[in-house]
Structure 1
Amino acid sequence: MAVPFTFLHAADLHLDSPFRGLARVHKAVRERLKESTFASFEKLALLARREKVDFVVLSGDLYDAADRSLRAQFRMQKLLAELAEDGIRTFIVHGNHDPENGWQAKLDYPEEVVVFGSSRVEHRPVHNRNGELIAHVYGISYPEAAVRDNLASGFEPIPGAPFHLAVLHANVDGDAAHDNYAPCRLAELSEKGFHYWALGHVHHRRVLREFPHVVYPGNIQGRSLKETGPKGAYLVRVSETGDVSLEFRDTADVVWMEKQVSIEGIESEQELKSRLELAMSEAAREAGERPAVLRLRLEGEGVMHDGLQSETIVAEWLESLREWYGSPDERDRWVWLDSLEIRTRPAIIGADPAEGDGFLAELLRQAEAAERDSLQGQRLLDEALAPALRHSKLREWKASLDDERRSLLIGQAAQLAASLLREKE
């Protein structure tokens, strides 16, 4: 029989993230976002103390840059010292954003803080407050940002502990959405003999496997509209029989959100305004006591489509909705409408124009096929942009497009062309 214990698993804190691209954001929003990673970390530390966990695991990318900001390091030192005062140990590995060779201030940390080195996998025994051995914790840090070696291969459990916990910043099974650093396979991790793999690197929480548990907690604070929804850490309880249970705890200080609004059935600007305002109110309710950054995505087909094709009109809608909700200066629980994304289609009156035999029908059929097939979409975009791609900046822009953005551009271009052709007719 093992000794029951509890630990907190978090990763990807990205302290002092610069939140690039905020030049046009309201000052109050910008300032809150710049502090949000610190506020989230403070919530994490408070959670660990409130739950009286035996230890905390931080699985890499504690800082946003290899040359860590001094402010972030001082904040880290303060909070880890507070955890140590409550008898809570912290086990740390560094990842690709904060590798070992990055600049670090010479600061003193309590002996309860363990930072694993990068030369080999190390392990430390962990005892509870009664002095009973509860686990061995293993880890290895990145020596530099781009680690292509399989670090998981160096992990081997050392006999003598009832529970073995591995801490690793890695890309399991080649997740295409993240850099393929410290690549490894889920099957490999599962066969190693560890009870829990505390992973970092992927910013969306995932439990890849149970028994043994292989877990990404995601990051603790969203940093863009690619990182929407709750963010936080896993509170992990291990029973006396060795059973593992996970409880996700949300620590985000600001919530990033996206909502879909359909234009179907809407025949006036007043109706559309009411739907958009309702979506903003729903976002505020879902965010609870926290502020939110919101993107509204207009979808569906309807008579309002043509009026939404002008960037000037969309900008006016954006500013009007911000004015309706009120300035972030006026409240703590604000909703900042970051953008309106138009993915609508024109209302089909009579026969579907894509079913005909003319140029317009062929245009719409090709656009629909390109939206379904990413390879065909790539080919169509290459053909359309061929004359412009002599310019290096445009080539860089095109290379940066993912499948979703490419599909959106093709669909928007086809619908705009269709609208212009209909007007000419």
Structure 2
Amino acid sequence: MGVPFAFLHAADLHLDSPFRGLTRVPPAVRERLKESTFASFQRLALLARREKVDFVVLAGDLYDAADRSLRAQLRMQRTLAELAEDGIRTFVVHGNHDPANGWQAKLEWPKLVHFFGSGEVEAVPAYRRDGELAAYVYGISYPEANVTDNLAARYRARPGAPFHLAVLHANVDGSAGHDDYAPCKLAELASGDFQYWALGHIHDRRVLNEYPHVVYPGNIQGRSVRETGPKGAYVVRVDEAGRIEMAFRDTADVLWSEKTVSIEGAEREQDLKARLLEAIEQARGEADHRPVVLRIRVEGRGALHDRLQRETAAAEWLEELREWCGSPEERDDWVWADSLVIRTRAPASEDGREDEDGFLGVLARAGREAAADPERSRELLDGALEQVRRHPKLREWSAARSAEEREELIGRAVELAAWLLRDREER
């Protein structure tokens, strides 16, 4: 039997992230985003104190770059010192974004902060606030950014503790869309002697297994439209029998949101405006008084499709969106419309034109047939991109498209070709 204790599991802080790629951003938005990772980290520390956890584990990528900024290191030092003053110990491993060989300022860290080295897996005792042994915490940091070894295979539980907690920055089962650093298999993590694997690297919140628990908390602050919704950490409570209770806590300072607006049934631009305004207010309401960076995707079949295909349509609607959202300088719960993407389609044919023997009919049928056949859709996409695929990045992008993405691309191409033909006929 063990003793009850609580810890906080967080990862991927990416302090001082530069937030590249945002265009025409007002100063208030730029400054809030610039400070958002620090504000989120401060929320994390407040959470640890409020929940009265015994210790904190940080599973890699505390900083955004190997040559971490001095500002980020000083903020880290200050925040961990505040936790130490409250008797909360912190255990840290470094990942691919902040490996051990990156530049580090010469700073004095509190005695209650332990940074795992990069030479071998260490086992360090973790105590409750009353001094009673709660667990052994195990970890190893990345010596350099590109770690392709299976670090999990080096973890071995040692006798002498009632609970064994492994901290690791890794890609489990080759999760798509993420660099395959420190690759390992869920089966090997679940079959060992550890009760909890505190993982980092994947920015989505995922519980891969329970008993033993294998957990990604996600990052603490979204950094792009690919990282939408609540972001934060897990508060984990363990009872005397080793039963685990997890509670996710949102720490994001700025939310990223993507809303889909359909044109189906909309006959006028006024109808679309009303739906866009509704999406803005929905995003604002979900943010719980926090700022939002919003992307809107306009899709569906409808009468407005042709009018939305004009070259300037997306830019014009985006400008209007920003006007409707109001100035970020005037309120704290601002919504900044970052982008508007149009992915609409023409209404389904009611007069049988797609079934006729004319060019539009042949084009529509060819598109449907290619989209339904994965091999044919791949050949069609490769042929269309034959010239540009000479560029390595574009070739990599093309190869990574899923069957669903290829189907959407072909459908959009058919729609655009049909619209161009109809537009020419009407002139």
Q: 1:126 to 1:388 in 2, by over 3 A?
A: closer
Residue correspondences, number: 422
1:413 corresponds in structure 2 to 413
3-state SS of paired residue (1:56) = strand
1:400 equivalent to 2:406? Answer no
1:95 — aligned with what? Answer: 95
TM alignment of 1:317-328, pairs within 5 A: 317-328=317-328
- Secondary structure of the 1:110 match is coil
- 1:374 touches 1:403 (CA, 8 Å); kept in 2? no
- Separation in 1, partners of 2:27, 2:270: 30
- Provide the secondary structure at the position in 2 that maps to 1:123: strand
2: distance between equivalents of 1:99 and 1:352? 62
**CA–CA separation in structure 2 for the residues paired with 1:65 and 1:409:** 35
Displacement of 1:368: 3.8
Once the two structures are TM-superposed, the CA of residue 349 in structure 1 deviates from its matched residue by: 4.0
One-letter identity of the residue aligned with 1:226: R
Which residue of the partner structure matches residue 61 of structure 2? 61
Mapped contact 2:371–2:407 kept (Cα < 8 A): yes
Q: Secondary structure at the match of 1:328?
A: coil
Identify the residue that residue 212 of structure 1 maps to in structure 2. Answer: 212
Deviations, residues 180-201 of structure 1 (Å, cap 9, x unaligned) = 1101101100111100000000
* Structure 1 segments unaligned to the other structure (5+ residues): none
How far the C-alpha of 1:383 sits from its partner, in A, is 1.4
Alignment-derived partner of residue 117 in structure 1: 117
CA-based RMSD:
1.7
Aligned-residue sequence identity (percent) comes to 66
Listed as ranges, the matches of 1:236-251 within 5 Å are 236-251=236-251
Q: Distance in 1 between matches of 2:368 and 2:37?
A: 41
Instruction: Kindly indicate whether the alpha-carbon contact (under 8 Å) linking 2:89 and 2:113 is maintained by their aligned counterparts in 1.
Output: yes
Give the CA deviation at 1:380. Answer: 1.5
Q: Which residue of 1 aligns with 2:147?
A: 147
Q: Which residue of 2 aligns with 1:296?
A: 296
**What is aligned with 1:346?**
346
Aligned partners of 1:169, 1:418: CA distance in 2, in Å? 49
Q: Identify which range, 129-138 or 354-363, moves more after superposition.
A: 354-363
Q: In the alignment, residue 53 of structure 1 is paired with which amino acid?
A: V
Contact kept? 2:228, 2:255, Cα under 8 Å: yes
Q: Tell me, yes or no, if structure 1 residue 234 matches structure 2 residue 234.
A: yes
How many Å apart are 1:327 and its aligned residue?
A: 1.1
What's the counterpart of residue 76 of structure 1? 76
Q: What is the letter of the counterpart of residue 348 of structure 1?
A: A
Letter matched to residue 209 of structure 1:
N
Whether the 8 Å CA contact 2:219–2:231 is kept in 1: the answer is yes
Stretch of structure 1 that moved more, 216-225 or 20-29: 20-29
Deviations 1:156-202, CA, capped at 9 Å, x for gaps: 11011110000000010111211111011011001111000000000
Q: Structure 1's 357 and 332: CA in aligned 2 closer, same or farther, altered over 3 A?
A: same
Counterpart residue type for residue 403 of structure 1:
R
Question: Take 1:14 and 1:375, find their aligned partners in 2: how far apart are those partners?
Answer: 40
SS of residue in 1 equivalent to 2:102: coil
Cα distance between partner residues in 2 of 1:183 and 1:121: 16
SS in 2 for 1:307: helix
Q: 1:375 to 1:5 in 2, by over 3 A?
A: farther
User: Any idea what the Cα deviations from partners look like across 1:333-386, whole Å, max 9, x if unmatched?
Assistant: 011111111111111342454444433233233434555556543322221233
1:29, distance to aligned residue in structure 2 (A): 1.2
Rounded Cα–Cα distance in structure 2 between residues aligned with 1:26 and 1:377: 42
SS of corresponding position for 2:14: coil
Q: Which runs of 5+ in 2 are unaligned?
A: none
CA gap 1:165/1:143 in 2 versus in 1, 3 angstroms: same
Structure 2 partner of 1:52: 52
Instruction: Tell me the SS of whatever aligns to 1:62.
Output: coil
**How far apart in 2 are the matches of 1:202 and 1:352?**
48
SS at match of 2:329: helix
**2:6 counterpart residue number:** 6
Q: Is contact 1:343–1:408 with CA below 8 Å preserved after alignment?
A: no
Using the size of structure 2 for normalisation, the TM-score is: 0.95
Alpha-carbon displacement from aligned partner over 1:268-304 (angstroms, at most 9, x marks no partner): 0111111111110111111111010111111110010
- Secondary structure at the residue paired with 2:76? helix
> After the TM superposition, which of the residue ranges 272-281 and 407-416 deviates more from structure 2?
407-416
The more displaced of 58-67 and 24-33 is 24-33
1:190-242 Cα shifts (integer Å, max 9, x gaps): 11110000000000010000000000000000000111111000000001111
CA distance in 2, matches of 1:156, 1:379: 48
Q: Give the Cα separation in 2 of the matches to 1:67 and 1:301.
A: 49
What is the letter of the counterpart of residue 396 of structure 2? A
Q: Which moved more, 1:70-79 or 1:299-308?
A: 299-308
**Partners in 2 of 1:374 and 1:74 — Cα distance?**
52
State the SS of the aligned residue for 2:47.
helix
Summarize the Cα distance change of 1:104–1:225 in structure 2 as closer, same or farther, 3 Å threshold: same
What CA distance in whole angstroms lies between the structure 1 residues aligned with 2:118 and 2:393? 35
Question: What do the CA deviations read for 1:8-60 (whole angstroms, capped 9, x no partner)?
Answer: 00000000011111242222111111111111000000100111110000000
Q: How do 1:354-373 residues align onto structure 2 when only pairs under 5 Å count?
A: 354-371=354-371
State the secondary structure of the residue aligned to 2:134: strand
Give the 3 Å change call, closer, same or farther, for CA 215–300 of structure 1 in structure 2: same
Instruction: Decide whether the 8 Å contact of 1:4 with 1:239 is kept in 2.
Output: yes
Contact 1:235–1:246 (CA under 8 A) maintained in structure 2:
yes
Contact 2:388 2:394 in 1 (8 A): no
CA offset at residue 387 of structure 1?
4.2
1:129 partner amino acid: R
- For 1:373 and 1:221, the matched residues in 2 are separated by 40
SS of the aligned residue for 2:312 comes to helix
